[in-house]
């Protein structure tokens, strides 16, 4: 089994009543991208204006090539509060770690340590994996 070519990872929270500044204050760090429900969003490439259907707070890790999802998990979570009560209060926003894994061949894989999985689980963060094959 070969190694995944590269990976991207983003912690995401969504909700109609999500207030990005409040999330940042609770977590102790600012997002990469955030907006409130109803906010006008302008496409950076297209210039097309759309209205946010729900609020969003997202914090992205540095892209890793070759893949290092484990490091990305800790890059994100170690800059945020360690207070599990805060994380519990954010459960209504269904936090997840959205990961893009880009294969370099037809049979690649990656391990995740128990520590990384525990870090996510203690905070109620679901792990979402999108795996893209080399083709």
pLDDT value at position 1? 58
**Length of the chain, in residues:** 135
In angstroms, rounded to a whole number, what is the distance separating the alpha carbons of residues 62 and 48?
27
Could you state, in order of their start, the residue ranges of all structural domains in the chain? 2-132
Angle at 23 between CA 22 and CA 29, to 5 degrees: 110
| C-alpha to C-alpha distance for 69 and 44, rounded to whole angstroms | 27
User: What is the CA 122 to chain-centroid distance, rounded?
Assistant: 16
Instruction: Give the pLDDT of the chain (135 residues) as one tens digit per residue.
Output: 567 899 999 999 999 999 999 999 999 999 999 999 999 999 888 999 999 999 999 999 999 999 999 999 999 999 999 999 999 999 999 999 999 999 988 788 889 999 999 999 999 999 999 999 877
Residue range 56-80, pLDDT digits in tens: 999 999 999 999 999 999 999 999 9
Half-sphere exposure of 74 (CA within 13 A, CB side): 8
Quote the pTM value: 0.93
pLDDT value of position 3: 75
């Amino acid at each position: 089994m070969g190694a995944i070519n590269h990976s991207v990872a983003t912690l995401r929270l969504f909700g109609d009543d999500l207030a990005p500044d409040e999330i940042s204050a609770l977590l102790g760090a600012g997002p990469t991208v955030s907006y409130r429900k109803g906010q006008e969003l302008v496409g950076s490439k297209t210039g097309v204006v759309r209205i946010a259907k729900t609020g969003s707070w997202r914090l992205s890790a540095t892209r890793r090539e070759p893949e290092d999802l484990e490091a990305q998990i800790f890059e994100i979570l170690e800059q945020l509060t360690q207070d599990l009560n805060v994380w519990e209060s954010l459960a209504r926003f269904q936090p997840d770690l959205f990961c893009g894994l880009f294969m370099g061949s037809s049979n690649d894989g990656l391990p995740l340590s128990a520590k990384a999985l525990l870090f996510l689980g203690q905070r109620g963060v679901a792990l979402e994996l999108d795996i893209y094959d080399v083709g």
